[in-house]
């Protein structure tokens, strides 16, 4: 019985398949690069507006919650309860400020990404570029401030200052107040570092996708 001829490696379809050590790389053609960039810019624009909506929602809920706490603080006649409410309000103010600082940075990053790559054919780029140029021509520019830093930095910082003043005016000694501030900052830093560096096990994500495959 005649043995079948052995196909050369270049004729073997399996020989051209990428291995685990050599992942498949897909590089778009030069003609597709502008379309890819325009699609990416649209995703960035959606993330930009979603981040703005998130700032608005967090500001509304934070102000409502702080108003409730302030009402409870003023209505309370017990100094220990006032101190507890004040420390809780101070903690929330610091957390709000920490989150706001990050959101402000995210908004600047997303907006800079929108207008970083010149593309005269992209309507998203043209809109944001023209709007930025027109905004720079505002006659009272030196006497105004953008809304994003107001709602992400100034208002949370002012809320923190108000709670600090209430705690001091309610009779808390300066030394105890300073210790409280330091303790809250350390707690926020430790908790933020812990949760920021918590990695989701890769097995969980693989299991998730395998269940739907």
Whether 68 has a pLDDT exceeding 80, the answer reads yes
Across the range 22-37, mean pLDDT stands at 55
Across the range 177-181, mean pLDDT stands at 88
pLDDT for res 193:
63
Q: Give helix 174-196 / helix 155-169 axis angle, nearest 10°.
A: 140
Provide DSSP, 162-195: HHHHHHHHTT--HHHHHHHHHHHHHHHHHHHHHH
Q: Give helix 79-114 / helix 174-196 axis angle, nearest 10°.
A: 40
Whether 31 has a pLDDT exceeding 60, the answer reads no
Burial (CB count <10 Å: 0-12, 13-18, 19+), residue 125: buried
- Phi, psi for 140 (deg, rounded to 5): -105, 35
The lowest-confidence range among 53-57, 126-130, 168-172 is 126-130
Residue 205 confidence class, pLDDT cut points 50, 70, 90: low
Residue 114 confidence class, pLDDT cut points 50, 70, 90: confident
What are the extents of the domains in the chain?
Answer: 35-194
Whether 7 has a pLDDT exceeding 70, the answer reads no
Distances (CA, A) of 143 to 5, 94, 139, 150, 156: 84, 28, 9, 14, 21
Residue 109, H or E segment: helix 79-114
pLDDT for res 200:
65
**Pairwise pLDDT comparison (106 vs 134), residue with the higher score:** 106
pLDDT for res 15:
46
Whether 116 has a pLDDT exceeding 80, the answer reads no
Residues 115 and 124: their CA atoms lie apart, in Å, by 9
- The reported pTM is 0.68
């Amino acid at each position: 019985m005649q043995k079948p001829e052995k196909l050369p490696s270049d004729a073997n379809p399996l020989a051209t398949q990428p291995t685990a050590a050599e992942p498949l790389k897909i590089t778009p053609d030069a003609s597709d690069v502008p379309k890819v960039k325009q699609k990416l810019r649209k995703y960035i624009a959606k993330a930009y507006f979603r981040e703005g909506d998130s700032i608005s929602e967090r500001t509304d809920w934070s102000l409502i919650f702080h108003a409730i706490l302030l009402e409870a603080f003023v209505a309370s006649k017990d100094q220990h309860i006032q101190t507890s409410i004040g420390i809780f309000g101070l903690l929330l103010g610091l957390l709000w400020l920490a989150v706001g600082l990050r959101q402000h940075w995210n908004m600047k990053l997303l907006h800079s990404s929108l207008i970083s790559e010149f593309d005269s054919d992209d309507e998203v780029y043209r809109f944001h570029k023209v709007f930025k140029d027109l905004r720079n021509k505002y006659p009272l520019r030196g006497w105004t401030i953008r809304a994003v830093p107001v709602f992400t930095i100034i208002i949370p910082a002012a809320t923190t200052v108000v709670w600090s003043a209430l705690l001091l005016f309610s009779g808390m000694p300066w030394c105890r107040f300073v210790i409280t501030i330091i303790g809250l900052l350390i707690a926020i830093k430790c908790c933020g570092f812990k949760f920021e560096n918590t990695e989701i096990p890769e097995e969980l994500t693989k299991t998730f996708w395998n269940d739907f495959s």
